[in-house]
Amino acid sequence: MQLCKFVLVFAATCLASCTDPAQMVGVGTTKGGATSQVSAAIAKVVSSQGDLQVRTQPMAGTNQYIPSVNAGQLEFGVSNIVQLTFAVEGKSLFEGHPNPDLRMVATLMPFRVGLLVPKDSDIRTVADLKGRPVPSGFRAAPLFKVVFDGFLATEGLSYEDVQQVPVSGVNQMWELFMQGKVLTAIVTVGSAIAKQTDAALGGVRYLSFDDSPQSVAALNEHVPRAHLELMQPAPNLTGLLTPSNLLNYDYTLFAGKDVPDELVYQVVRAMYENPDELRVSGALWEEFTVEGMSKDVGIEYHTGAIKFYQEKGIWPTQG
């Protein structure tokens, strides 16, 4: 009897030791904000499928984790298409430090942002910001300076034409806006901060950007891969009081080119097969579609992702 017990225990131990544990992979993300929320949802959904265990790797910003993905030290990363373009090309926030080994895995969802002003303000267009106090600097969130540069450029302005009020990051910008110390702030459409500023200021509204070809070209000099979209007022879109042209850019999931095809394939498949699980994770995912995952955003896709999209018939025809 003791011998039988020993044999059974030994067999069970061997079986357990021979079973491959789920592979662990990391996804670079920020310590908070939209990027963190998007990354957490991907990690949860992919990990729930059992074959992979995805763990978020929070860092101070994209300038820390994007180079790690490019160097093969981290498998995946999440960022908006503007920052990813800068990283690949070695421009703006990544000036002189290109990351040529980054590859697209999936296009996730559109983000729409604009400039809020108090509802009763005499500021009707971006041009009216000339000589007015606006947030500047953004040492802790440099992308916001880039975006603000683009907004000003739509009316032929620059920071030299406004009163610059230094802020460290977005939270301080919003605080100063609600205190009336700056007259505008960058706010994502439909976000909680839009509702907060609306309550604090007795009403807010978005400025509509000039969508002429010249203005869009000036915007894209600072904010590549972004475009303007005419949005209609809706009950859940605080501050959108009239049809307005707002900035639209995509969020993306990317990987290093040397990440194994099968690993990328599994991640894409898990997201493709579980869109509802992603959508219930938060409002940010409301416009996520599986058909949009393979959208052409001007950056090369990973071969593992391409294989999956081709199998599903959603890989765009290459001209």
- 240, 245, 281 from 121: Cα distances, Å: 15, 19, 36
- Segment holding 206, helix H or strand E: strand 204-206
Positions of E strands within 61-176: 76-80, 102-118, 133-137, 163-167
- 26, 57, 67, 123, 153 from 54: Cα distances, Å: 6, 10, 19, 46, 40
CA distance 154 to 157: 7
CB within 8 Å of 15: residues ≥ 6 apart:
none
CA distance 279 to 272: 12
- 78, 107, 298 from 294: Cα distances, Å: 15, 6, 11
**Beta carbons of 279 and 285 less than 8 angstroms apart:** yes
Q: What local confidence, expressed as pLDDT, does residue 11 receive?
A: 43
Q: What local confidence, expressed as pLDDT, does residue 3 receive?
A: 45
Each residue's pLDDT, cut to its tens digit, for the chain (319 residues) gives 444 444 444 444 444 344 346 789 999 998 877 889 899 999 999 999 877 899 999 998 888 999 999 999 999 999 999 999 999 999 999 999 999 999 999 999 999 999 999 999 999 999 999 999 999 999 988 999 999 999 999 999 999 999 999 999 889 999 999 999 999 999 989 888 999 999 999 999 999 999 999 999 999 999 999 999 999 999 989 999 999 999 999 999 999 999 999 999 999 999 999 999 999 988 889 899 999 999 999 999 999 999 999 999 999 865 4
Predicted TM-score of the model (pTM): 0.84
Q: What local confidence, expressed as pLDDT, does residue 21 receive?
A: 61
Q: What local confidence, expressed as pLDDT, does residue 191 receive?
A: 86
Residue whose C-alpha is closest to residue 287's, from 224, 220, 229: 229
**Beta carbons of 315 and 306 less than 8 angstroms apart:** yes
CB within 8 Å of 32: residues ≥ 6 apart:
none
Tell me the domains of the chain and their CATH numbers: 21-109+251-312 (3.40.190.10), 112-249 (3.40.190.10)
